[in-house]
Amino acid sequence: MITDQDHEQLCRHGLSPAQVDQQLSHFQNGVEPMKLVRACTVDDGIIRLLEDDQRRLDVEFEAVAATGRVSKFVPASGAASRMFQQLIDVYTNGDDADEDSKETVLEFQARLAEFAFASAVEACGGSL
């Protein structure tokens, strides 16, 4: 299944054959769900950044992003389809869309600036 060329590439990435086998096993067999003890809260699993820290980290992020070193992982689990299902309903069905979907679109538009992709929407002319 894994060729010699694959092994060479994996070694360059610092992965041993045992690590690769373990990762493949996770894909094939899945992993046991974690047993949660309690919900995370600020100071118990969640760190609240102070304003100065936020500004400093924003500057650092922009500097790193400008070099092209930032990437993002987009899972293809269908979560995005479910997350935007009501928007798709209104886009597809217009006035015939479900009333809940229409209300969701209004809230989405009102809170668009809060989404991580807001700047990308603005770059496209601000229309969805």
Angle at 108 between CA 105 and CA 112, to 5 degrees: 145
pTM score of the predicted model: 0.37
Residues 1 and 29 in one domain: yes
Determine the structural domain holding residue 116 and report its residue range. 77-128
Residues 52 and 81 in one domain: no
Residues in a beta bridge with 41: 44, 45
Residues 7 and 44 in one domain: yes
Final residue of a domain: which of 30, 48, 70? Answer: 70
User: Which tokens belong to 2?
Assistant: 């894994």
Residues 39 and 88 in one domain: no
Residues 97 and 36 in one domain: no
Residues 54 and 86 in one domain: no
Selected residue with higher pLDDT from 91 and 75: 91
Residues 65 and 9 in one domain: yes
User: Which tokens belong to 34?
Assistant: 């974690």
Final residue of a domain: which of 45, 70, 95? Answer: 70
Query: How would residue 30 be classed by pLDDT, with cut points 50, 70 and 90?
Result: confident
* Confidence (pLDDT) at 126: 66
Per-residue pLDDT of 58-90, as tens digits, reads 999 999 988 988 877 666 667 667 778 898 889
H helical segments located in the chain = 4-12, 17-29, 51-66, 79-83, 85-93, 99-110, 118-123
